[in-house]
Amino acid sequence: MELFSGLSQAGLPALFLACFLAATVFPFSSEALLAAMALGPWSTMALLATATAGNTLGGLGNYAIGRWLPQGRLMRWLRVDPRKGERWKDQVQRFGAWAALFCWLPVLGDPLALALGLFRVRFWPVLALMFIGKAARYAVVLAALRGWPGA
């Protein structure tokens, strides 16, 4: 908890960086830092915007890796069983960009963003839906701690 206290002292740039890194392969709880910072002087909207922007950009980093690395090389590098790869491809083709709403999920979110890029789902819908999903998650955390805005 001392780590989160120290990071929260660093302000919104630290929150942005932590949320960005949490959306990559680094195991980090952006929600814990957001909760610590919710006890501070920052506005709810500033916390929500900063956390969402950082986490969305981190998720887009995963999307970009999937998009720009050759599919066969990435699958071999990640040691993905070809049958499992086909199942991911079928799911991504079935749900398309709508799957980006769930990129906030622990464990599944990072590979999902990678798969959206890998199977060439259009960028702008992925960006918009990923942003909405991540914003909703952080809004729930903030609402639990501070109550709904205007309440």
The answer to whether position 81 is within a domain reads yes
Distances in Å between the Cα of 72 and the Cα atoms of 69, 75, 97 are 9, 5, 22
Provide the whole-model pTM. Answer: 0.86
Q: Which domain holds residue 68?
A: 2-146
Given a cut of 90, is residue 116 above it in pLDDT? Answer: yes
Q: What is the pLDDT of residue 33?
A: 94
Given a cut of 80, is residue 62 above it in pLDDT? Answer: yes
The answer to whether position 151 is within a domain reads no
Q: What is the pLDDT of residue 50?
A: 98
The answer to whether position 64 is within a domain reads yes
The answer to whether position 22 is within a domain reads yes
If one counts the domains in the chain, the total is: 1
The answer to whether position 18 is within a domain reads yes
Q: What is the pLDDT of residue 74?
A: 66
Q: What is the pLDDT of residue 150?
A: 53
Q: What is the pLDDT of residue 147?
A: 80
Specify the DSSP element, H or E, that contains 69.
none
pLDDT digits (tens, 9 = 90+) for 68-115: 887 767 667 767 777 877 787 888 889 999 999 999 998 889 989 999
Q: What is the pLDDT of residue 83?
A: 80
